[in-house]
């Protein structure tokens, strides 16, 4: 059952990280807030990898071409997904954006089947459908697609698709690493991914937005908080990817919609409507059904 515990911890930490990044977006812009997640998260990921290596008394696995390719795919997709997520947060409520992002399991169920050969059964697909219906109810009214709200809907769903691609990349990379210990493989995969992401983001910022790059270091206290939460959440997501399919991990991860509703209610003072409460109930029902199948 450890993958269940890992995903629940990851979902809670991710909600906190998203809130921290949303705050940084107002100070240093979308690109700067995206950079923070990776550059300020990397030291924590490397420190954890060193601790695991010392604890287990063996070196980290060396990735082959296939594993490295999957990890780079996941790293790049996650950068683009994070940037789109932060753009969307500028024009929609925190919980609503989180809900749009949770269309991801539907994409994962199909893409994971094609790319990784991890086909979900009919019962699992039904559970995913119920949980996703709950997400739809948590989102704005369908008429929003034809209104001025269409742009954040589009960017939110595009971000979800890229997060799904990132999950496939990370799952493929972790399973492609040699060794039996899932903790060491997950820690190694995260360190590689964050190193790639940090290098790409710093090079991009040096080329096009140096002011935002330096601003992240001026706000180093806030950046460290967001970076730590990001690395902490990612490490537990990677534990989940090491132990079960990406679609199982990300479907259970729908519980962060509930965490986001809590943040919206207690931090931002926004109350949930009856439709949102029904949506949350469906999310819980779908996730519970999935757990009954896999635990």
Q: What is the pLDDT of residue 39?
A: 92
Token duo for residue 202: 């710093």
Distance set, CA 75 to CA 132, 196, 199, 205, 233 (Å): 25, 7, 11, 17, 15
Residue 166: pLDDT band (50, 70, 90) is: very high
What are 1-46's pLDDT values in tens digits? 788 899 989 988 887 787 777 777 777 877 887 888 899 999 999 9
* Domain count along the chain: 1
Q: 37: closest CA among 227, 235, 232?
A: 227
What are 234-276's pLDDT values in tens digits? 999 999 999 988 878 877 877 776 666 666 666 555 666 777 7
Q: What is the pLDDT of residue 119?
A: 60
| Cβ burial, residue 46 (10 Å; 0-12/13-18/19+) | middle
Q: 240: closest CA among 64, 18, 15, 1?
A: 1
Domain that includes residue 141, residue range = 2-294
- Taking CB atoms within 8 Å and a gap of at least 24, the contacts of 234-237 are 234/10, 234/41, 234/45, 234/190, 234/193, 234/194, 235/10, 235/45, 235/48, 235/186, 235/187, 235/190, 236/6, 236/7, 236/9, 236/10, 236/13, 237/6, 237/7, 237/10, 237/14, 237/170
Q: Residue 179 and residue 144: Cα distance in Å, rounded?
A: 49
Determine which of 95-99, 176-180, 207-211 has the lowest per-residue pLDDT on average: 95-99
pLDDT of 198 higher than 60 = yes
Q: What is the pLDDT of residue 146?
A: 44
- Which range is most confident: 172-181, 197-206, 240-249? 197-206
Q: What is the pLDDT of residue 70?
A: 95
Q: What is the pLDDT of residue 132?
A: 72
Query: In sequence order, which ranges of 139-178 are alpha helices (DSSP H)?
Result: 150-176
Residue 171: pLDDT band (50, 70, 90) is: very high
Determine which of 42-46, 86-90, 159-163 has the lowest per-residue pLDDT on average: 86-90
Q: What is the pLDDT of residue 145?
A: 43
What are 111-158's pLDDT values in tens digits? 666 666 666 677 777 777 787 777 667 665 545 544 445 666 777 778
pLDDT of 159 higher than 50 = yes
Q: What is the pLDDT of residue 241?
A: 93
pLDDT of 72 higher than 50 = yes
For the stretch 57-80, what's the b/e string if a residue is b when 16 or more beta carbons lie within 10 angstroms of its beta carbon?
Answer: eeebbebeeebbebbbbbbbbbbb
pTM here is 0.79
What are 206-220's pLDDT values in tens digits? 998 888 888 888 888
For the stretch 161-194, what's the b/e string if a residue is b when 16 or more beta carbons lie within 10 angstroms of its beta carbon?
Answer: bbbbbbbbbbbbbbbbbeeeebbbbbbbbbbbbb
């Amino acid at each position: 059952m450890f993958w269940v515990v890992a995903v629940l911890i990851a979902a809670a930490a991710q909600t906190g990280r998203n809130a921290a990044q949303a705050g940084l977006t107002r100070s240093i812009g979308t690109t700067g807030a995206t950079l923070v997640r990776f550059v300020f998260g990397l030291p924590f990921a490397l420190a954890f990898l060193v601790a695991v290596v010392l604890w287990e008394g063996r070196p980290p696995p060396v990735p082959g071409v296939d594993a490295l390719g999957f990890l780079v795919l996941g790293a790049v997709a996650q950068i683009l997904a994070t940037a789109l997520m932060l753009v969307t947060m500028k024009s929609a409520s925190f919980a609503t954006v989180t809900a749009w992002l949770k269309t991801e399991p539907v994409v994962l169920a199909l893409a994971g089947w094609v790319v990784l050969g991890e086909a979900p059964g009919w019962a699992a697909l039904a559970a995913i459908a119920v949980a996703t219906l709950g997400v739809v109810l948590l989102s704005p009214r369908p008429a929003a697609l034809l209104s001025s709200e269409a742009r954040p809907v589009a960017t939110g769903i595009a971000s979800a698709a890229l997060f799904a691609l990132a999950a496939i990349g990370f799952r493929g990379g972790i399973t492609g690493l040699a060794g039996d210990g899932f903790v060491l493989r997950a820690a190694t995969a995260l360190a590689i991914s964050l190193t790639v992401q940090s290098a790409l983001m710093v090079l991009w910022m040096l080329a096009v937005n140096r002011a935002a790059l330096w601003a992240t270091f001026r706000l180093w206290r806030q950046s460290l908080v967001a970076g730590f939460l990001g690395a902490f959440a990612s490490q537990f997501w990677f534990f989940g990817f090491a132990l079960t399919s990406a679609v199982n991990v990300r479907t259970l991860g729908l519980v962060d919609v509930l965490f986001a509703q809590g943040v919206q209610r207690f931090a931002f003072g926004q109350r949930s409507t009856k439709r949102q409460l029904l949506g949350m109930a469906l999310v819980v029902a779908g996730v519970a059904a999935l757990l009954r199948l896999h635990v």
